[in-house]
Structure 1
Amino acid sequence: MSSKSLRVASVNVNGIRAAFRRGMGDWLAGRGIDVLAMQEVRASTDDIVAALGDEWDVVHDPATAKGRAGVAIASRSKASIHRVTFGPDDFDSAGRWLEADYEVGDTTVTIVSAYVHSGEADTPKQVEKYRFLDAMLEHLPELQRHNPLSLVVGDLNVGHRTLDIRNWKGNVKRAGFLPKEREYFDRILGAEGDDRYNAGAGLGWVDLGRRSAGEVEGPYTWWSWRGQAFDNDTGWRIDYQLATPELAERMTSYTVDRAESYDARFSDHAPVVVDYAL
């Protein structure tokens, strides 16, 4: 990887084999990605390598249940070390949290591919989601101590603010926009209305999507396959790149690679692509 810049892309591929059948390879070939973090790969390591090609180094944490979840990071250079231990000993985070260190010139950058549970209000699925968010909240300071140039990317399955969901009024009782879920992001980034929101509040992490876009609706990263959600841009912004303050200052561009049309999509999520000057 270049010692001057780093391009990191993150996308929930919704099954990597299906994504490549739908054209993910064409997108990837022309995008100049250095590090590609993927969620919900739902495949074996061999399947991932076969799809991407031998020029990529792949680290992968599969889910306990075969064919479910799964996170991976592919890179142009080999990860110096990667870790998957996360949360309490009795908590199954397999396929949902993968950390890797990358040497970019003389700089080390730590990248996490994260896939938070989708949850379902008032069910055991939501309990598991809160357990994951609790573990994540506890681990973020440790990650920052490990490396002040750290990045958590992926499908975090929570729209933090009303700006992040087109139809937010109709979703206040739905998983992904529950007040309790959004409070976790208040504690990471600061709450809406806080003078230091996204600039040192909470745990001090920075939501690069909001920093780049400003106080506007979206840009959304997920749209249901059903109906006219994509055509009408009735979406959710639930895919993030969250950076430590030191790394956030090195962002030079932020893009959501929204497909040109419904039939050109390779996933129900759009890739989030960020350039960093190192």
Structure 2
Amino acid sequence: MFKLTSLNLNGLRSATTKGVADWVAQLAPDCICMQEIRVQASDVTGRFEEMAGLKGHFHFAEKKGYAGTAIYTRHEPTEVVVGWGDKEFDAEGRYLELRFDTPKRKFSVISCYFPSGSSGEERQAAKFRFLAGFFPHLIALKKQREFVLCGDINIAHKEVDLKNWRGNQKNSGFLPEERAWMTRLLDAGADGAGLVDVYRMLKPDTTDAAYTWWSNRGQAYANNVGWRLDYHLATPTIAALARNEEIYKTIKFSDHAPITVEYAFGL
């Protein structure tokens, strides 16, 4: 089995003080994809190169204390791809791809941190630029190889994916344009990307148990007023091998919960 986890840390250093390394050691994933690591290369040296015996690979944002992605893996990749070729968003450290190619399969694990538009119109416009450019990248990649994209997508796709959907229809993360983008991403037709929302495939009817993010305002976490923002998005062949899922909520490492899926293949 290939055990793959995704977690928005809201800061690698912060999550480490809350015991994330011990949890990773207990979980023993093959790979863990992290988003919003908020560190630079100088912060990693001598401290974060490895976690629980897994080797770390990183895409740092140019701006200190901002964004960034990482993947810790127990398997040596055949290639590491840092960034997806967009100057604006590669500067923010939003895409890291590890390739594990064998004679049988070309396979990638991707950690991706989609922009949030919640801070205002300028960042929402940036988010739309990201979505517009990233869609054809995923289509092109899917033609070349199998992959699982793990990440904080910053979009709740359907009404079942957030608690207060009625009151959030004009808010970033649940805008009609964002939801339509997700629908097209998952559409297997000629105009779609044909990817699979793995959690929703395994748990088609789950509501509040599926949430992976809670606002720090009020008592959102205590009352489970959440959103499902963290995904495994896989090519159909890989998605068909998904067997088990878990959203871990026992210990809170950040404002997101980690999501783990086990796939019936090995590297």
Q: Which residue of 2 aligns with 1:229?
A: 220
Q: Which residue of 2 aligns with 1:175?
A: 172
| Structure 1 residue 154, shift from structure 2 partner | 0.6
Deviations 1:118-143 (A, max 9, x none): 11386111111011111111111111
**Cα distance in structure 1, aligned partners of 2:163 and 2:191:** 25
**Cα distance in structure 2, aligned partners of 1:180 and 1:245:** 24
Is the 8 Å Cα contact of residues 103 and 109 (structure 1) preserved in structure 2?
A: yes
Is structure 2 residue 245 aligned with structure 1 residue 275? no
| Structure 1 residue 44, shift from structure 2 partner | 2.5
Deviations 1:236-261 (A, max 9, x none): 000000000000011111111122xx
Is the 8 Å Cα contact of residues 69 and 96 (structure 2) preserved in structure 1?
A: yes
Structure 1 letter corresponding to 2:98: A
How many pairs were matched up? Answer: 261
Is structure 2 residue 24 aligned with structure 1 residue 37? no
User: How has the CA–CA distance of structure 1 residues 128 and 69 changed in structure 2, closer, same or farther, with 3 Å as cutoff?
Assistant: same
Structure 1 letter corresponding to 2:3: R
Structure 2 letter corresponding to 1:267: S
| Structure 1 residue 93, shift from structure 2 partner | 2.6
Is the 8 Å Cα contact of residues 87 and 136 (structure 1) preserved in structure 2?
A: no
Q: Which residue of 1 aligns with 2:205?
A: 215
Q: Which residue of 2 aligns with 1:240?
A: 231
**Cα distance in structure 2, aligned partners of 1:25 and 1:85:** 25
Q: CA RMSD in A?
A: 2.2
Is the 8 Å Cα contact of residues 61 and 97 (structure 1) preserved in structure 2?
A: yes
Is structure 2 residue 113 aligned with structure 1 residue 115? yes
Q: For 2:170, what is the secondary structure of its paired residue?
A: coil
Q: Which residue of 154, 159, 178 maps to 2:156? A: 159
Is structure 2 residue 121 aligned with structure 1 residue 131? no
Structure 2 letter corresponding to 1:174: N
- TM score, norm. by length of structure 1: 0.87
**Cα distance in structure 1, aligned partners of 2:42 and 2:260:** 25
Unaligned regions of 5+ residues in structure 1, if any?
191-195
**Cα distance in structure 2, aligned partners of 1:134 and 1:111:** 22
Structure 2 letter corresponding to 1:184: W
User: How has the CA–CA distance of structure 1 residues 106 and 56 changed in structure 2, closer, same or farther, with 3 Å as cutoff?
Assistant: farther
- The equivalences for 1:1-278 within 5 A come to 5-45=1-41, 47-48=43-44, 50-51=47-48, 52-53=50-51, 55-89=53-87, 91-94=88-91, 95-103=93-101, 107-120=105-118, 123-147=121-145, 149-190=146-187, 202-218=192-208, 219-259=210-250, 264-278=251-265
Q: For 1:30, what is the secondary structure of its paired residue?
A: helix
| Structure 1 residue 26, shift from structure 2 partner | 2.3
Structure 2 letter corresponding to 1:216: T
Is the 8 Å Cα contact of residues 51 and 72 (structure 2) preserved in structure 1?
A: no
Q: Which residue of 2 aligns with 1:193?
A: none
Structure 2 letter corresponding to 1:235: G
**Cα distance in structure 2, aligned partners of 1:245 and 1:174:** 31
| Structure 1 residue 22, shift from structure 2 partner | 1.0
**Cα distance in structure 2, aligned partners of 1:108 and 1:30:** 29
**Cα distance in structure 1, aligned partners of 2:137 and 2:103:** 27
Deviations 1:76-118 (A, max 9, x none): 12221121342545x3333111111125795442011110111
Q: Which range moved further: 227-236 or 40-49?
A: 40-49
Unaligned regions of 5+ residues in structure 2, if any?
none
Is the 8 Å Cα contact of residues 89 and 130 (structure 2) preserved in structure 1?
A: no
Structure 1 letter corresponding to 2:192: G
Structure 2 letter corresponding to 1:28: V
Runs (4+) off by over 3 Å: 45-49, 51-54, 103-108
**Cα distance in structure 2, aligned partners of 1:156 and 1:130:** 12
**Cα distance in structure 2, aligned partners of 1:122 and 1:258:** 30
Q: For 2:226, what is the secondary structure of its paired residue?
A: coil
**Cα distance in structure 2, aligned partners of 1:250 and 1:104:** 17
